[in-house]
Amino acid sequence: MSRADQPLHGDGPVTSRRERARLRREEIILIASELFAERGYRGTSLADVAARAGITEPGLLHHFGTKAGLLLAVIERRDLDSEAFAMELLGMEPADRLRALPEFARRNRDRAGLAKLFTVLAAESLEPDAPGHDHFVARYRALRAIVADTIRSAQEAGLTRAGLEPEVKAAEIIATLDGLQTQWLLDPEAVDIVAAVESYARTLERDLTGS
């Protein structure tokens, strides 16, 4: 009768029906992420996703309601990953955060799909009535706030030069990292993303400390 009991009937693996459905949704979200990254939201059809997931189109819609619903599920799932990274960064001393940037770039390079997903979806979400618009606006505002806070706490610790405006500098830092990523995605042979981010991290350190 309690809501906490687990069936755990003897045969088969320990997955309940609910759990299996959740896993299926996760799997579909992963597949949709790849396709959205490659061809964009608009360039991907439900049939594409369904075929790769080994399910029918109505089967897909049973889980996500509409195509936009699938997009939102993808974005939310991917945000959990970024959030984990943000927590990782925030767990460090402010002074160490700069040094973590190249590691971030290295990780992104090895999972180019995730980076591409965000670049593509952000561009498709510029128009105010795009399905992911509000989400990306909120995401960038939050990101700027986190970076600005980091700068502000470095200021309070007396580690920075005078004349730094945290919000403006935050936008600039995020812009540089995003922009480098776009150039690298477009032309990986011409742009070494890890070297570029390492160089930028050094530039940024000089800029922030005023040395």
Q: Which residues bind its own copies (CB under 8 A)?
A: 38-40, 42-43, 116, 119-120, 122-127, 133, 136-137, 140-141, 144, 165, 168-169, 171-172, 174-180, 182-183, 185-187, 190-191, 195-196, 199-200, 203, 206-207
For residues 119 and 181, the answer to whether their CB atoms sit within 8 Å is yes
Residue whose structure tokens are 């593509």: 120
Residue with tokens 């939201």: 41
The rounded distance, in Å, linking the Cα atoms of 182 and 9 is 50
Is 198 a residue that touches DNA (CB under 7 A)?
A: no
Nearer to DNA, 58 or 128 (CB): 58
Q: Which of 14, 18, 110, 189 binds DNA (CB under 7 A)?
A: 18
CB of 125 to its own copies, least distance (A): 7
Q: Give the DSSP per-residue string, 129-194.
A: TSTTHHHHHHHHHHHHHHHHHHHHHHHHTT-S-TT--HHHHHHHHHHHHHHHHHHHHH-TTT--HH
- Asked if 185 interacts with DNA (CB under 7 A), we say no
Residue 78 partner contact from DNA, its own copies, none using kind-dependent CB cut-offs of 5 to 8 Å: none
Between the alpha carbon of residue 211 and those of residues 158, 161, 207, the distances in Å are 13, 8, 7
Q: Is there a contact between 191 and 180 (Cβ–Cβ < 8 Å)? A: yes
Question: Per CB under 7 A, does 210 bind DNA?
Answer: no
- Is residue 175 within the footprint of DNA (CB under 7 A)? no
Site string for DNA, 36-55 (x = CB under 7 A): --------xxxxx------x
Q: What are the residues binding DNA (CB under 7 A)?
A: 7, 9, 16-18, 20-21, 24, 44-48, 55-59, 61-63, 66-68
